[in-house]
Each structure stands twice: as C-alpha cells, then as structure tokens.
Amino acid sequence: MIPDFDQCYRAVESRDARFDGWFYTAVRSTGIYCRPSCPARTPFRRNVEFFPTAAAAQRAGYRACKRCRPDASPGSPEWDPRGDVVARAMRLVADGVVDREGVSGLARRLNYSERQLHRLLVAELGAGPLALARAQRAQTARVLIETTDLRFADVAFAAGFASIRQFNDTVREVFAATPREMRARGTKRTEPGSVTVRLAARTPFRGDEVIEFLAARAVAGIEEVGVGTYRRSLTLPHGPAVIALAPGPDGVIGTFRLADLRDLTAAVARVRRLFDLDADPVAVTEALGRDPVLAPLVARRPGLRVPGQPDGFEQLVRAVVGQQVSVAGARTVLGRLVERFGKPLDAPDGSLTARFPEAAVLAAAEPGDLPMPGARARGLIGAARAVADGDLVIDPGVDRAELRARMLALPGIGPWTVEYVMLRSIGDPDAFLAGDLGVRRALEARGLDGSPRAAEAHAEAWRPWRAYANTYLWTE
C-alpha cells in the first residue's frame, strides 16, 4: 500500500530516492508518470496523483518519464516481508510466469481462480495480472531496443509480445516514442549474443560483501569470482545461460548470455534476488540498529544484504550437503556432484563448464553414487524426487508456511536446512537459523547464551528482519 498523499508529496518535493519503487507520481497536466526522485520541477499538488505500480499508472493513460525512467526503478520492498497472495503474485509476475504460463498458470500456482486473483490485484495494485505483465514486457523491450542490435521482430518475441503490432503499440503508449526513435538514443551496444542491464538498488548497498559471500561458496564448474565480478551458469525456463555480475555503489551491472532471449525477464528477477536489490536498507537499519546486540554491527555495515540463490532446488541441495560440514568441505562435495551429474555447457565459458544437476538426475542416483554419508545421500535423493515429481515447489511464489511444512516432512531435512533455504532461495526476510554455529559463536562472543532456544528468544525483537540479523551475526 502506498503512503498517504501528504507523505508521498513530501517525498516528491525532497526527491527522496528511498521511495523509488514504493509508488509512482503521475502528473495530469503532462500525462507523464515519474519516480519520486525525478529531477524535474516538482509539479503542483493539484496536478498530481499517485499509483502503487507502474502498471496502474500506464493503465490510467500515463506515459513513462524519459528523464528518470520510472520503469527501471528498484522493485517495491513491500513484497519481501509479505507472504500473502498479492505479494506472492507480484514475485511470480516479476519472474515472468504470466508470459510463460498465462494468467491461468499464475492463478493455478496460487490456488485461486482467475477472477478472484484479478479482483485482489486490482483492489490493491490498481492493475490486474495482464496489465502488470504488460508493464514488465515494456521494460524488457526497452532494454533490448536500447542495448542490442536485434531486429524489432525478435525484440517483440523475446519480450513476450504476441505480435509486432502489440509491441509497437505498447512501446508508443508507455514511452511516447517509436522503437526506432528509442534505438537512436540508446546506449552503447554490447557484444553479440549478450544483453547488459543496469539493475538499480536502494542505497546504502554493500554489493561487494555479497560477492565475498558468494566467492567463499563458489562451486567449480558452475561459478567463478574475479575482481569485483561474479559469473555463473544457470538453467532458465527456456534454456541455459551464463551471467556476469559486477556490483557498484547503487546497483549491479549484469551481462546475460542467454540461449533464448525470452529468459531475460526471469534472469533479471533471479539476479535481483541474488543481490537482494529490492531490500529497504533504511527500514532494516532502523529496526536492527535499536538492538544493543546488533547496533555495532549495523553501524559498521549499513546496507548489508542477504545473499540469495537463483535456483530453489540448487539451494536445497547446497543446504543438505552443508549440514554439519565446513563451507570448504561442502564446496568440494558440490564440485564433485557438478562434475558427475551436471549438464555440460555446449561450449566452456572460461572456467564455467556445466550447469547444476537437475532434480530428475539426482533423483535417479543411488546413495552410493553420492560423495557423502549414506543417511544424508538418501535424504538428498528423497528431496530431489519430491522436486522432480512436483510434490515440492521452491520458488518465490510459494506459500512460505506450506513450504516449511513440506520440507520438514522430508526424511533428513531439519530446521537448519529449511531456514537456510527460506533465507537464501525464497528471500524470506524473517528466516532465522537459530541452531547455526556461526550465530551461536557471535552471540556468545557478546556474552549471551547462544543455544538455539536462547537465540530464538533474542531474535523475537528482530522480526520481521531476522534474516538480516542472521547475516550481520555471520559477519561478526
């Protein structure tokens, strides 16, 4: 829900970038909608109205500002702590589910009828699932028009439009320019076969610490870390990909090599989760900075993010392998799994040679095939079968309570594993690993009882940001 009118207008007057993505400012006299931080002259109050989403502003007939590019602002952090159906729907729309499966597929995933879902989204967001997906397609089209030399027919197909006419009409309505005009003023072209996108984050943003976290856990064959850059292979809905990510002070520059350009939307959504780009660091700092245990850590590292994971099944495997072993030991085992069960890339890309093993492949393995103790191997195979059979779905649109219950019901899967998956793959900001050794040591170093029960008691004051508290304690 957007703040009240007066608070929104004050944010616009002060050009407060913290509210970018929270709401959009539409100006009746110009027919344009902007970010709150737009550098243009502040419009008169009588000419302004506010919308919770870019799609709602577009649906009301407004065009995107060419100066502040509101379509490229950080996503609303509101969807991170919320687990209701609207928040789950928004996360799935951002992942491209409507383009791939239609509104019926989105509704089916959420266990709602299409009519119920449409009514809920319009009531809260001012736009239904088709309008939300249309706004996202327009953003994808803009990126492809301005950063590649693709034919416009290919851009339309890659962005998810049903026809060239629909593509042309949407681009003109949303950006008040033709595709040809947008390409003429576009940015420098990237190398053939790749798309480079700047992904904005709210500041402060400590992307370098996300890189450090990923570097310590990088698995040979699917990940590599250079100076300030993280590269990895991915399996996306339409094929393989290799991504290169370089964080800066206010976001990440991502270069995507995609087998199918239709996967750009899904790839961007996964990178945003990986670097926690839609977080609200101000809210986290205000909440955790009041706690005497965490205040010194927060003061030293404002803007710390919770590193994510772009693939739910991969994170589950990493969590199972990482039970009761060191980070280095888990990385070694995972490297062996990739070497034996991973799907080779068509051509090696530097040190990247494969993709992470698919659930169906590990589900068919025997416990003796896996380089780990038998009980853990059986637990991993059982989890892989549940994912391969569709009994266990790990994606940002799932019901969090239901997913926790389903994972805990699997043999060999305990609370630590479940919370680690929720923290890194689902992006639940309130996930907390009470029994984690690093958490225990950090609390004991501050003269506190680090037992799981005591850690849970300490963590009650950190809701709904316990995942961030967890990450701060790991940095101790």
Q: Specify whether 34 is catalytic.
A: yes
**SS3 for 80-143, per residue?**
CCCCCHHHHHHHHHHCCHHHHHHHHHHHHHHCCCHHHHHHHHHHHHCCCHHHHHHHHHHHHHHH
The residue type found at 310 is P
**pLDDT value for 141:** 92
Q: Is 445 exposed, middle or buried (0-12, 13-18, 19+ CB in 10 A)?
A: exposed
Average pLDDT, the chain: 93
**pLDDT value for 71:** 84
For residues 431 and 416, is the Cβ–Cβ distance under 8 A?
no
Q: Tell whether 414 and 382 lie within a shared domain.
A: yes
Q: Tell whether 23 and 99 lie within a shared domain.
A: no
Q: Specify whether 65 is catalytic.
A: no
CATH number of residue 227's parent domain? 3.30.310.20
Least confident of 181-185, 239-243, 313-317, 365-369: 181-185
Residue 117 lies in a domain: yes
Write out pLDDT tens, residues 109-155: 999 999 999 999 999 999 999 999 999 999 999 988 988 888 999 99
**pLDDT value for 451:** 94
* The pLDDT of residue 81 is above 80: no
Q: Tell whether 30 and 89 lie within a shared domain.
A: no
Residue 302 lies in a domain: no
Q: Tell whether 355 and 323 lie within a shared domain.
A: yes
Query: What stretches of 165-228 adopt beta strand conformation (E)?
Result: 194-200, 223-226
Which listed residue (20, 95, 278, 436) is catalytic?
436
Q: Tell whether 389 and 326 lie within a shared domain.
A: yes
CATH number of residue 47's parent domain? 3.40.10.10
Helix, strand or coil for residue 181? helix
Residue 133 lies in a domain: yes
Write out pLDDT tens, residues 209-268: 999 999 999 999 999 999 999 999 999 999 999 999 999 999 999 999 999 999 999 999
What is the distance between the alpha carbons of residues 312 and 386, in angstroms, rounded to a whole number? 13
Report the candidate in 218, 217, 222, 421 with the shortest Cα–Cα distance to residue 338.
222
**pLDDT value for 2:** 67
Domain count, the chain: 4
Structure token pair of residue 226: 């250079």
Kindly state the percentage of the chain with pLDDT values over 70.
98
For 117: left if phi > 0, alpha if psi spans -120 to 50, otherwise beta; the answer is alpha
For residues 75 and 53, is the Cβ–Cβ distance under 8 A?
no
Indicate the pLDDT class of residue 190, thresholds 50, 70 and 90: low
Report how many helices (DSSP H) and strands (DSSP E) the chain contains, helices first: 22, 11
Residues spanned by the domain of 216: 194-277
Q: Tell whether 89 and 112 lie within a shared domain.
A: yes
For residues 23 and 51, is the Cβ–Cβ distance under 8 A?
yes
Which listed residue (34, 38, 65, 68) is catalytic?
34
Q: Which pTM value belongs to this model? A: 0.91
